[in-house]
Structure 1
Amino acid sequence: MNDNTQTERFIQHAADYFDQLVPVATDDELFAAGYLRGHVDLVVGTLQLTEQPFSTATLIAQVERSLSDAVEKGELTALDELQVRTVWQQLQQSDKTFAA
């Protein structure tokens, strides 16, 4: 599988993952997923605007950077940060294509 296909699959998997949480997640999990989804969507949009190919690894690194910047700016409490990072790890681990 080439990088573009893998990246497109990861982006679609992320959208599906967030959508599947809606009916079953707690309020805290929904907050964390929604917050994270905003960061993922922002990074994907920003990378797409460059009109250059990018990899799943680049996407993940940019989301990590975006989350770290948000924490440094005080956007999240320590508990919120933990919940967001937990959802982020679960998302990455749930993607069989990326984990393989």
Structure 2
Amino acid sequence: MIHDYEQKLLQLIDDNIDSATDDELFAGGYLRGHISLAAADCEQQEIDDIIVMQKKIKQSLQDAKSELSPNDWQLVQQYSDKLMM
């Protein structure tokens, strides 16, 4: 289930490439790594709950907040929220 959800999120990012703004392309590219890391962590811990995976993605983004400018971090957060609705 986690693997399927990971693939769904990554596919949503890929499906938007042709119509995405530069900001969305940046946010999608940045999010891909966080999504895959969260999925791998869930699988390693034998977690099969999508809500837990979403929390792991959000926590990973929060932990990496200092890597981005405030504007970029906000773009990533907004895109993440849009994807995980």
Bucket of the pairwise TM-score, normalised by the shorter protein: 0.7 to 0.9
- 1:79 is matched with which residue? 71
| TM-score normalized with structure 2 length | 0.88
Structure 2: stretches of 5+ with no match in the other structure: none
Out of 30, 33, 36, the position equivalent to 1:41 is 36
> RMSD value over aligned CA atoms?
1.4
Aligned residues: 85
One of 14, 17, 27 as aligned partner of 1:19: 14
Segments ≥4 residues shifted beyond 6 Å: none
| Greater Cα radius of gyration, structure 1 or 2 | 1
For normalisation by structure 1, the TM-score amounts to 0.76
Displacement of 1:28 in angstroms is 1.5
Shift of 1:86: 0.9
Which of 53, 67, 84 is residue 61 of structure 2 equivalent to?
67
Asked whether 1:57 is paired with 2:13, we answer no
* Aligned-pair identity (%): 31
